[in-house]
Copies of this chain bind each other. A is one copy, B any other.
């Protein structure tokens, strides 16, 4: 009924007929192939514009085996902030953007199934946002069946294209900041070391830097990166009362929760306890006190990962490399000299 008003999209033939050339020639124009005179080019382009012609992606995909689309696989929707920048970069470069989120701790087999579906969908490239590493480079490479891919957020070794933030550098900045302020009794709320690559690196670096100064972590709890878990973890730390003067939190959300817990105990931040976060989430500058933290540029992470995929698409034989971004220390009001 209403369907009558909707003309089915124009095809190559329609354009050809209107322009008075063969559909072959139209195909040449559409694909920017040589051997077409300016005059016919003009005619064809006008016909294309008039009919509002768009090549049928399915047909094109079928014969070329390509799709002009990339697929992003995100685990636990780990850091949504990367998504818009990836999406933007993809469309800017003429690629469709497809997304799938994996939930919970995905076993390798299920991941394999998902990747099989994706890699057999004529997709041009894949970005894997992997917060952990329960998979080897070889396994992944096999699963990807020759489709170009880049990994974001963790490293599987130098043989794999990846883009990541140097967690050791960032953590070092945070810890050394606390040390310079004079803190010696430092506690931490870490993320799950078993599940998160970043969490593991941050924790290891924390211990390493302390060791360099002949110090030990006075206490430690683990959270799941949520505000609530930071709150709970800080409560546990304070109950044990190990007398720490500074608290290193593996992300801003947990730092926010921790600050609430500290205040609830009648202590002040930073006078009694200094708190550093990680990530510089958009609320970090506006909580109370404004959070000293390590800024990670997630937008850049997303944009770079697409760029790397794009390079790989253009030159499939490109030597794999890792792109490392560095984070920086943002000093605000949640850290100060210890009272002593």
Distance, CA A116 to CA B52, complexed state (A): 9
Interchain nearest-CB distance for A253 vs B (Å)? 8
Contact in complex: A62, B54 (CB < 8 Å): no
With A84-B80, A91-B100 known as contacts, the answer to whether A257 contacts B286 (CB < 8 A) is: yes
A101 is an interface residue with CB less than 8 A from chain B? yes
Q: Pick from B57, B88, B103: contact of A88, CB below 8 A.
A: B103
Contact in complex: B287, A283 (CB < 8 Å): yes
Contact with B along A277-299 (1 / 0, CB 8 A): 00000110111100000000000
Number of copies: 2
A256 is an interface residue with CB less than 8 A from chain B? yes
List A48-91 residues whose CB lies under 8 Å from chain B.
52, 54, 56-59, 61-62, 67, 69, 77, 80, 83-84, 87-88, 91
Interface-lining segment among A117-125, A201-209, A243-251:
A117-125
Distance, CA A69 to CA B100, complexed state (A): 12
Interchain nearest-CB distance for A1 vs B (Å)? 9
Interchain nearest-CB distance for A37 vs B (Å)? 28
Distance, CA A68 to CA B52, complexed state (A): 24
Contact with B along A27-61 (1 / 0, CB 8 A): 00000000000000000000000001010111101
Chain A interfacial positions (CB closer than 8 Å to B): 2-3, 6, 9, 52, 54, 56-59, 61-62, 67, 69, 77, 80, 83-84, 87-88, 91, 96-101, 103, 116-117, 120-122, 145-146, 227, 231, 253, 256-257, 259-260, 263, 282-283, 285-288
Inter-chain pairs besides A58-B59, A286-B287, 18 sampled, C-beta below 8 Å: A3-B146, A6-B146, A9-B120, A54-B120, A57-B122, A58-B58, A58-B62, A80-B80, A80-B84, A87-B99, A96-B98, A227-B283, A253-B283, A256-B283, A256-B286, A256-B287, A259-B286, A260-B288
